[in-house]
Structure formats: C-alpha cells, structure tokens
A and B are shown apart, each in its own frame.
Chain A
Amino acid sequence: MNALPRWLRSARVLMGLTIITTIALIALLAPFIAPHDPNEQNLISTFLPPAWVKGGDTAFPFGTDSLGRCVLSRLIYGARIAMTVAIVASLGAMLIGAVLAHIAGYFGGTLDWLIGRTVDVWMSFPPVILSLILMVGLGIGLRNVILAIVLVDWTRFCRVLRSEVLVVTRRDYVAAARLIGFSHWRTITREVLPATLPLLITLVSLEMGIAVIVEAILSFVGMSVGATTPAWGQMIADARQYIYDSPWSLIFPILMIFVTVLGFNVLGDGLRRTLDVRVTETQRT
C-alpha cells in the first residue's frame, strides 16, 4: 500500500493543483505582492510595454494600460475576483444540483419527472444570455455574479449526477440497506453519496473553469463587478480598443484566463481518471 492516495499520484492532478494553488496564493496575497494600487492612474506613462521590451519601465513589469494603470497589479487583483467566483459559484451550483439530482435519482417517479422537466426547460435558455438577463435584473456586484452563475449552471450538475445516482440506487446494496432499516436520509448519505462523490468532485473542478470563463464574459460586457474592481474580462474589454497600439495589455489577461481554466480542466480530467471507478476498474482488469 502506498501512503499517498491514488489521485494524488497522478501527474495531471499534481499539475492542475500546482497551477490552481499558485493562482489562489497570488489572489490571497494580492495586497503584499502587487507593486501598485490596481486603480492608480499614471497618465504620463500610458501604454508602456512590459519591462523586458524596448521602452519598458522596470516599475511596471508588465507595462501599463490606456490610463497608465499597472497591468501586473490589475492581473493580481483580478485573480481575487476570478478565484472567488470560481470557488463560491461552483460550490453553490454543485449544492443545488447535487441535492436535486439525488432526490430525483433516488426517489424517482413524479419527483424525478418534475426535476427532470425543470432542468430541460432551464437548459433550453442560452446560458450566457440567461446570466446576462439575470445580471441586468440583479444589478452588478460580486454577490450577484455568483448568484447568476449558480442559477444558470446547477442544471449541469443535476443532469449528469442524476443518471449516476440512478445507477447506484439500482445496486443491491442500496436495497439491502433499506431492508436492514436504514432511513432514506441515511441510505442516501451513507450508501449512495460515497459512490457519486468522485463524479461530484470532478464536476466541481470542471465547473470552476467554466465559472472563470463566465465571469470573464460578464465583466467583458461590463455586467460583472463594476468598473472600480479590476477583473480580467474587464481588462480585455479595455485593451480591445488599443489592440494595435498596445497588444500586451490584451495578451496578459487572456493568458491568465487561459492558464487558470487549463489548470481547472487538467485537475478535473486527472480526478476523473483516478476517481471514476468505471475508468479505474477497467484498467485494473
């Protein structure tokens, strides 16, 4: 027996975890590592290229934007929004989706039909437009961004998990637990949930990547946290107008989103490969 659990020995999981932990640390320690206030304007030195390019200034390692704000500092503070949204929104969506999925899959019948049709109707709205409409209704702000993502994306969890719950519920050990005298609650938490948990964890890590993208889209159209809080999508929107004068301030936020989403996806893929019994069982045989 190895001391490390199987999933921690996977290269994908390790790589994903490294990327995510780094970005999370950057977000946590933003006030200490950012060289400037992210909103501090320096109108004399606008459109500065990164320090290593000719004409760069070492005071602004990644250069400045149209208002002379430090790109690096804005990226660092932007990570805070991205990570908060990624974690809180995906956990929120998971909670609603997983609870409904377990109810639908375990009890079946009318409840299953009702939840299934709700998901169908919900999913027939284009997700980005639905979240935009929600943002218009709710107003901008971090809490509302999270709420909008949760309200749109719980269906993803519900649909995928429901079928898994359905499979597990048909197992004889679930029937055996009922015969032994387990209550429904105990049967779900002790017998069904442990079997669906690997899928749940995998879905959460993939959803985190999706949440980062949705937040970037919302802030790109100015429907996220407001102009005073730096966010990656917003930075892209600002830099878009000066793409020929100063491509750098466009490239950096795009790179950040890319790396973050990649990190979550690699982590999710690694977890799926190591936790999903259907994959690991076939490999063992």
Chain B
Amino acid sequence: MSSATIPSQTSLPVGRLKSKTVRRVREWCIMGLLIGCGVFSIATTLAIIIILGLETIHFFGLDEVSFVDFITGTQWNPLLGAEKHFGIWPLICGTFLVTAVAMVVALPLGLITAIWLSEYARPGVRAVIKPVLEVLAGIPTVVFGFFALTVITPSLRWLHEGFNVYNAASAGLAVAVMCLPIVTSLSEDALRAVPRSLKEGAYGLGATRFEVSVKVVTPAALSGIIAAFLLAIARAVGETMIVSLAAGNAAKMTADPREEVQTMTAYMVQIFLGDASNFGPEYYSSYAVAATLFLMTLALTVIGHRIRVKFRQVYE
C-alpha cells in the first residue's frame, strides 16, 4: 500500500499543473459552447422578430392597405372578390372561437384531473396515468387534425345537423384534447408542490379531503395553475395543423362554433401552400397576421408572468 502511494505523491504536482491547464481549457471550451448556444437561440429569435417587423412594415406601406382598416376591419378577403379587404377581425374571431371551445373543455377537465391525480389517486394509479397523459402530448398535431375530421366532425353532425363539414367546434375539441396533458401535468406539478404541512394543518382542523383539495391546496397552487392555463391558451391560439384541417378556410365574423371559420394560423398555411402566386399584398398580409399573433401570445406570456408574481405564495 505504502509503496503504491509514494510514486503517486511525487508525481502529484506535475499532474496537478497539467490538469490545471487542461481544466482551464476545458472550462473555456464549455463556456464558449454554452455562450454560443445561448447567442444562437437569442439571435434566431431576434432575426425572426426583425423579419416579421420588416415585412409587416412593408405590408402596411403598400397602397392597397391601411393600418386603421387592418385593426378595425371586419372583412378579410385578400384573395377573392373585386375589392380586397384586409380587416384582421374575422381571423381573430376564428382563432378565439376555436380557442374558446378548446379551453371550455380542456381547462376544467385538466384541472379536475390534476386534483384527482395529486389528491385522490393512489400512488400506483398515478404512476400509470400521468405518463400516459404525457404521451398524449407527444402525438403529432396532424393526427389530432385527422381525428377531428374523421371522428369528431361526423359525431357532431350525427348529434346535430347544423354543423358544417368544417367547423370551429370540431377543431376546438381536438385542440382541447391536445392541450389536456399540458394543463393536467403542469397543474398537477403545482398542486404537489404545496407543502405537506399546509394540508396536514387543514386535516388537523377537521377538513374533509374535498375541502382540503378545493379550499387549501388549489388556492395555494393558484399561480402555477394559472401559468398552466395561460400556456395552454397560448398553445391553442398558435395551433396550426388541427385548425387548417378541421376548421375550414372561410374567414368570417361568427360566434357560432358550428360554422366554418379561418384562424390566423390557417390563413398563413393557405398563403404559403401556394394560394398567392405573386408577391402582392396578400403574400405580405400573412406577415402582418403573424405579427398580430406574435403580439397576442407575447401579451399572454407577460400577463401570465404578472399573475404568477402577484399570486405567488412563498412557503417556508
């Protein structure tokens, strides 16, 4: 043993020196790599925003377009008709309609599932259900789109004849299924982060399990739950494939989910899939629509952040 330690002791300073330079170089490399990655993603984001901004400005600079009409107009027909109209509201209306249908279903269902998972389900059941739900998040949205078109729409039309072949409700329901794992998984994480002492205190005061879940745990986890909700809303607003398959391609102002609508994302798909051959206003309009969508999701994120800060409860 001792004979083995002596040589290693004598060679130690040299080894330490060597490893010091090696380590320094390695540190530098790793730091450079990390900075590079960070800069790359920030640069990409900036480039996207800049392009979006420039093309949008170009769009509003065109003769056929006026900014006021764009933000107040209720007619959107860039491709057809004698006179082109660029009023964003029909597209916003379509987007909101689909999102509303989706959220009416996904938020309560997701939250209730999350409460059940964190407060009621036995650990064994939870260990199975939660991963299964998360698998749902891995399904490509085009699959949800086909599901909407081939299962949800026919079912809705079987229930009620008034549903159009392409309708907002069907797309909304598919988006709801898509958003469900986000809502459930994130809400459940927030609920489980509530300290045990708080629950036990409530139980100690004689509260039932339902009272503990609804009156203690849920309010305590509210910031996390709201963050989950906003994330789901942002996801639904930006969803593209489901709506362009199932919601249709007719931009109109309607609050009737049985009607065909066009969302902002579906319009962009339509333009970039070859419906605009020249680089005219209809082509650039998709950038303006994209910028509007971007501002909307940005606003959602900012509001989400504010709410989270305001409602945050810190437990020691």
Bind each other: no
A residues at B contact (CB < 8 Å): none
